[in-house]
Structure 1
């Protein structure tokens, strides 16, 4: 499952999507793939989330990260559905431990230096900074890089097409996370737009 992190490192963009209809997941994954994005975070914020993860994971060459994972039981369900990465808004030892036991990649959320230290103590070096925009944006990530040079951040929350390049330019940012390339109206009615936005997003953060 470490391949999930390798994919993210390569494309440097993690689309985040919440789906009310699991039937949309497979065509969405195919549209993202066509745009050069073979990965997406599908959240558990909706009742269709788990089924959507399974649908997207069935697309050859596509990697699914499960988002908004809050419990160890949810980790099991998401990995069983095909998720290779578990993303959480905050840090929870039980979630990280179960993710590791299941062979998936844990990307827990942090918002403070104390939480970064706690995550490092648990063996996590790739961390979601959430909500990045409200916390201080690129300036905060730059500041955290001094005491924590071993950490690579995935900023999420308030990241847009306009701000993504500034985040991605930082050496301690592994990838940027957001939903600007997967707008709900395009998912439901114009997947060619998703493909175009995905292609633009990958180009915007390329090193």
Structure 2
């Protein structure tokens, strides 16, 4: 197991649920991250889906003690470099391209690459990846599909993301090839817009206690 794989696993094992955030207002980034960390969710994925995403990562990296910020929805080498420069400690992609594999190989910051089929998983294993994002989890076959991969693709570990809720998270977390899940329910937009950080801490606390 390589150093980057060990680093990624140590981050993903911090908690059963990695919050997947779409931050539209930069002013929300720091209090939102503090609320999540207070609830026990230290590793935080901030997706590059908004104009303020990179600045949000930078703010969380600089100002939120205990937070381990990562960048999600990273699609190319330029975004990878920008995310690392902003302070991301891990990078998440919805799928995988040769460009991403090339930049990840040269970077000290680990990549959690996306895969949804057995062939994609096998290709990533050939590239040395042991931990992958299973995306979009529910739409790609859910926990039953992922369970069916555990025997023929033994050794591959997953962070399922996409359609994960408090109702089905335990189904995924019970699988032998799941290290954690990604979910957006811990930071619903209504609570974020209202600045209800205590409410988000409560949701984060509940999520941090999820297990098989």
TM-score bracket, normalised by the shorter chain, equals over 0.9
RMSD: 1.3
Cα distance between partner residues in 1 of 2:41 and 2:65: 13
Runs of 4 or more consecutive aligned structure 1 residues displaced over 3 Å after TM superposition? 1-5
Deviation at 1:4, TM superposition (A): 4.9
TM-score (norm 2): 0.93
Query: Structure 2: any 5+ residue segments left out of the alignment?
Result: none
Cα distance between partner residues in 2 of 1:83 and 1:76: 10
Cα distance between partner residues in 2 of 1:53 and 1:37: 16
Paired residue for 1:193, among 190, 199, 202?
A: 199
Cα distance between partner residues in 1 of 2:9 and 2:30: 21
Look up the match of 2:95. 90
Paired residue for 1:15, among 19, 24, 29?
A: 19
Secondary structure of the structure 2 residue equivalent to 1:31? helix
Q: Number of residue pairs matched? A: 206
Instruction: Please state if 1:110 is matched with 2:93.
Output: no
Paired residue for 1:40, among 35, 44, 47?
A: 44
Query: Structure 1: any 5+ residue segments left out of the alignment?
Result: none
Instruction: Please state if 1:71 is matched with 2:76.
Output: yes
Check whether the contact 1:5–1:105 (CA below 8 A) recurs between aligned residues.
no
Check whether the contact 2:12–2:43 (CA below 8 A) recurs between aligned residues.
yes
**CA deviations over 1:115-160 (Å, ceiling 9, x no partner):** 0011111111111111110111111111111111111011011100
The equivalences for 1:100-179 within 5 A come to 100-179=105-184
Check whether the contact 2:43–2:69 (CA below 8 A) recurs between aligned residues.
yes
Deviation at 1:12, TM superposition (A): 2.0
TM-score (norm 1): 0.95
